[in-house]
């Protein structure tokens, strides 16, 4: 998938893609916890016996350097 196609995804589609990527990277017991009141965590899973919390951000344009800082 190219960068332009990523920007075309809806927030829900983007989160689905993120979940698929996390699973393909070996995150076990991945659970979606996102939504309007997700406390800044979209997914919780395990890898190598450690709990991992992941927040994803869908954008319609690239982040600026200042936004990343």
pLDDT band at 27 (very low <50, low <70, confident <90, very high): very high
The predicted pLDDT at position 68 comes to: 73
54-63, long-range: CB < 8 A, 24+ apart? 54/18, 54/22, 56/14, 56/15, 56/18, 58/9, 58/10, 58/11, 58/14, 58/15, 59/7, 60/7, 61/7
pLDDT in tens, 44-65: 999 999 999 998 888 777 778 8
pLDDT in tens, 2-13: 888 888 888 889
Residues in the chain: 69
pLDDT band at 36 (very low <50, low <70, confident <90, very high): low
- Rounded CA separation 46/57 (Å): 21
pTM, full prediction: 0.73
């Amino acid at each position: 998938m190219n960068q332009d196609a990523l920007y075309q995804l809806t927030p829900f589609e983007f989160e689905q893609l993120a979940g698929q990527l996390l699973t393909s990277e070996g995150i076990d017991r991945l659970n979606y916890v996102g939504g309007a009141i997700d406390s800044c965590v979209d997914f919780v899973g395990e890898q190598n016996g450690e709990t991992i919390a992941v927040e994803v951000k869908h954008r319609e344009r690239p982040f600026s350097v200042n936004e990343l800082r």
